[in-house]
Amino acid sequence: MTNLLEVKDLTMRFGGLLAVNGVSLSVKEKQIVSVIGPNGAGKTTVFNCISGFYIPTGGDVVFQGRPMQGKPGHLIAREGMVRTFQNVRLFKEMTVIENLLVAQHMHAEHNLLKGFFLTPGYRKKEKELMDRAAHWLDRVGLLEFANREAGNLAYGQQRRLEIARCMVTEPKLLMLDEPAAGLNPNETKELDELIMHLRDDHGVSVMLIEHDMGLVMGISDHIVVINQGAPLASGTPAEIQANPDVIKAYLGED
Ligand SMILES: Nc1ncnc2c1ncn2[C@@H]1O[C@H](COP(=O)(O)OP(=O)(O)OP(=O)(O)O)[C@@H](O)[C@H]1O
């Protein structure tokens, strides 16, 4: 099976700090790959480099066979790699459904000017966007809140809306930065089911940064561990749980 994403020898330097040092990883189609490591290990920086929010100091990022390093985030998103952030970033004063419509407009660079003329083609496109938004709201259990202001949703619901906002753009790779942070155990279980459902029924690959080890060990096909910016281990959940270097890095943390 060819790799959807191939990252080789990724390096990111901030002044004197080598935040990411020689990290390599790959994600295959329909795989859930988690990146774990102690606080400050460089996980979010790896995400930022892959998704075009930082230009890496060195290394290669190849997505669907094409080099991505140096491209801006919005172009990488258009290639089919979309992400969420550690802190919820919704348009809080817009309604839930508006958040999904705007995401699709931004993604498709839909010609808004045409809207003023209300051509039949435009109306048809608008209906498609609306149908897709409703479909994903239903999938993440938020359809009944479609017209509520996004900022008024409970935190766990906002997290699910963020995932729906990614999914309306029909990505190949969904990158989630600490999606379970701040969720209660029930919400985490729903998130676990949602992520597996996205992979199994919608064919997306998922990359995950997460501190909730129950979630990571339960859903990951493959895990990459980084420590102080450098690769420490990679393997299946069982291999990672049994790896003495990983255990040491985690026990050494507290
Ligand atoms: N824009 C930046 N400028 C300077 N240093 C940065 C920047 N972003 C991250 N760093 C530093 O790089 C290192 C790695 O940070 P990063 O946020 O990637 O770690 P992390 O593994 O995601 O941590 P956490 O689990 O706590 O979110 C840290 O020392 C951090 O202070």
Domain edges within the chain: 1-80+172-254, 89-170
3-class secondary structure, 21: strand
CATH code linked to domain 89-170: 3.40.50.300
Using DSSP bridges, classify how beta strands 222-227 and 230-235 pair: parallel, antiparallel or unpaired: antiparallel
Q: Is the CB of 40 under 6 A from ligand 1?
A: yes
- Which spans in the chain are helix H? 43-50, 73-78, 96-108, 113-117, 120-139, 155-167, 185-202, 213-219, 237-241, 244-251
ipTM summary value = 0.92
43, 46, 213, 232: residue to mutate for ligand 1 pocket, most atoms within 8 A of CB? 43
Q: Is the CB of 36 under 6 A from ligand 1?
A: no
What pLDDT score does 116 carry?
A: 55
Superfamily of segment(s) 1-80+172-254: P-loop containing nucleotide triphosphate hydrolases (3.40.50.300)
Q: Which atom of ligand 1 is nearest to the CA of 226?
A: 21
**Dihedral sign of CA atoms 45, 48, 50, 53 in order:** negative
> Looking at the chain, how many residues does it have?
254
Using DSSP bridges, classify how beta strands 3-14 and 17-28 pair: parallel, antiparallel or unpaired: antiparallel
With a cut of 70, say whether residue 155 has pLDDT above it: yes
Residue nearest atom 17 of ligand 1, based on CA coordinates:
44
With a cut of 60, say whether residue 253 has pLDDT above it: no
What pLDDT score does 113 carry?
A: 53
What pLDDT score does 252 carry?
A: 67
Residue 236 CA from chain centroid, whole number: 20
3-state percent helix, strand, coil for the chain, nearest multiple of 5? 45, 25, 30
Residue 153 in tokens: 């949703």
Q: Is the CB of 42 under 6 A from ligand 1?
A: yes
122 Cα: distance to centroid of ligand 1 (angstroms): 43
Mean pLDDT of the chain: 90
Give the pLDDT confidence of 103-129 residue by residue, as tens digits: 888 777 655 555 556 666 777 778 888
| Cβ-contact 7, 198 below 8 angstroms | no
Residue nearest atom 30 of ligand 1, based on CA coordinates:
40
42 Cα: distance to centroid of ligand 1 (angstroms): 5
